[in-house]
């Protein structure tokens, strides 16, 4: 089964929930953890894996042979991302925004465009105790990171049907999140009881429902503000189950700051994450939340 953990808003504790859940699940079954937050991966700070393999991720970027290019403009018309434009009688490439679709090289009537692989990041693989660990790391300055996310996601294909695959998605609701969450059997949405948390939770719910993925909510830092009732009311109105509530506690914050795993230090949270996993499996068995 593939369980993605997303948030909409950054900073809600998504990675904290994901890593602690992985630690609990790994005591029951084979568990794989995929850190798809490739622009700022940090699950390794908590799971401390031993990395034993790395793999580069590259995009095919067009190169124009000026001796063949006559400035016809076909490539400019084909590119949906404005990554190649014709100025005067020559084509100019903007590699930072190229999505490597290959359209320009295929459609060029003069065969003036070739493609060259350019590295944009890498995928690392290893083990964190009983957990098989993968993470993507995009190179500094790379604007198009979705291919790195997909390269990490491809590792899930190697897991058998008895493996629990946890995907730590990027924050937000953009293309990298879509790539990370796509194909999940269930999505856990982590929010916080603040107006910003609720606003971005609504956006995340719209996204996963549009993708046809069942979801439930974990409310982190309960008791920190007075907005928890607003999150409750929204989830009730939308028929979304609240899978767990994690109270705000300075001890938990201190554990996080040290890179610790909650379930290893606090028995009450070990029980809470066991209950969270039970709630997720029950939702999967029942068909999940209303679409």
85-126 pLDDT per residue, tens: 999 889 999 998 999 999 999 999 999 999 999 999 999 999
Q: Is residue 82 part of a domain?
A: yes
Name the residue range of residue 275's domain: 2-30+160-286
Q: Domain check: are 26 and 167 in the same one?
A: yes
Identify the domain boundary among 104, 119, 134.
Answer: 119
How does DSSP assign 257-271, residue by residue? HTT--HHHH-HHHHH
Question: What does the pLDDT read at residue 163?
Answer: 96
Q: What is the mean pLDDT of residues 237-247?
A: 96
Percentage of residues in the chain having pLDDT higher than 70: 98
Q: Is residue 7 part of a domain?
A: yes
Identify the domain boundary among 119, 134, 169.
Answer: 119
Q: Is residue 126 part of a domain?
A: no
Question: What does the pLDDT read at residue 286?
Answer: 87
Q: Is residue 20 part of a domain?
A: yes
Q: Domain check: are 165 and 259 in the same one?
A: yes
Asked whether the predicted pLDDT for residue 36 surpasses 80, the reply is yes
Closest among 174, 216, 221 to 194, alpha carbons compared? 221
Q: What is the mean pLDDT of residues 268-284?
A: 96
Q: Domain check: are 9 and 113 in the same one?
A: no
Q: Domain check: are 65 and 14 in the same one?
A: no
Q: Domain check: are 24 and 165 in the same one?
A: yes
Q: Domain check: are 63 and 25 in the same one?
A: no
Q: What is the mean pLDDT of residues 26-47?
A: 96
Q: Domain check: are 86 and 176 in the same one?
A: no
Q: What is the mean pLDDT of residues 230-242?
A: 96
The enclosing domain of 82 has a CATH number of 3.30.70.20
Q: Is residue 264 part of a domain?
A: yes
Question: What does the pLDDT read at residue 125?
Answer: 97
Q: What is the mean pLDDT of residues 165-194?
A: 96
Q: Is residue 272 part of a domain?
A: yes
Question: What does the pLDDT read at residue 291?
Answer: 45
Q: Domain check: are 229 and 165 in the same one?
A: yes
Q: Domain check: are 108 and 202 in the same one?
A: no
The pLDDT confidence band at residue 290, using thresholds 50, 70 and 90, is very low
Q: Is residue 215 part of a domain?
A: yes
How does DSSP assign the chain, residue by residue? -EEEEE-BSTTSSHHHHHHHHHHHHTTTS-EEEEE--TTS--THHHH--EEEEEEEEEEEEEEE-TTT-----HHHHH-TT--EEEETTEEEE-GGG-----HHHHH-TT--EEEEEEEEEEEEEEEETTEEEEEEEEPTT-S--HHHHHHHHGGGGGS-TT-EEEEEPPSBSSHHHHHHHTT-SEEEEEE-SSHHHHHHHHHHHHHHHHTT--EEEEEEEETSSS-HHHHHHHHHHHT--EEEEEE--HHHHHHHHTT--HHHH-HHHHHHHHHHHHHHHHHHHHT-S--
Q: Is residue 37 part of a domain?
A: no
Which pTM value belongs to this model? Answer: 0.92
Identify the domain boundary among 103, 119, 135.
Answer: 119
Q: What is the mean pLDDT of residues 37-45?
A: 96
Q: Average model confidence (pLDDT) for the chain?
A: 94
Count of domains in the chain?
A: 2
Q: Domain check: are 174 and 262 in the same one?
A: yes
Q: How far is CA 259 from CA 48, 129, 159, 192, 245, in A?
A: 9, 16, 28, 20, 21
């Amino acid at each position: 089964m593939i369980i993605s953990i997303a948030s909409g808003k950054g900073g809600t504790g998504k990675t904290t929930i994901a890593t602690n859940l992985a630690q609990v699940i790994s005591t029951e079954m084979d568990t794989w953890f995929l850190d798809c937050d490739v622009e700022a991966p940090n699950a390794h700070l908590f799971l401390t894996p031993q990395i034993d393999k790395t793999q580069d991720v590259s995009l095919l970027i067009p190169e124009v042979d000026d001796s063949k290019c006559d400035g016809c403009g076909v490539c400019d018309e084909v590119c949906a991302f404005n990554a190649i434009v014709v100025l005067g009688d020559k084509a100019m490439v903007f590699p930072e925004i190229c999505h490597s679709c290959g359209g320009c090289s295929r459609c060029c009537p003069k065969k003036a465009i070739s493609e060259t692989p350019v590295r944009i990041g890498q995928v690392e693989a290893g083990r964190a105790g009983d957990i098989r660990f993968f993470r993507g790391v995009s190179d500094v300055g790379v604007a198009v990171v979705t291919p790195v996310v997909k390269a990490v996601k491809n590792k899930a294909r190697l897991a058998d049907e008895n493996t629990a695959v946890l995907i730590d998605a990027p924050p937000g609701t953009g293309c990298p999140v879509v790539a990370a969450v796509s194909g999940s059997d269930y999505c856990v949405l982590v929010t916080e009881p603040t107006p910003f948390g609720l606003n971005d939770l609504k956006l995340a719910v719209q996204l996963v429902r549009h993708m046809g993925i069942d979801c439930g909510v974990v409310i982190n830092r309960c008791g920190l503000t007075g907005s928890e009732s607003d999150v409750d009311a929204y989830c009730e109105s939308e028929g979304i189950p609240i899978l767990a509530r994690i109270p705000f506690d300075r001890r938990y914050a201190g554990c996080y700051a040290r890179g610790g795993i909650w379930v290893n230090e606090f028995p009450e949270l070990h029980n809470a994450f066991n209950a969270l996993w039970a709630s997720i499996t029950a939702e999967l068995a029942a068909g999940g939340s209303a679409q």
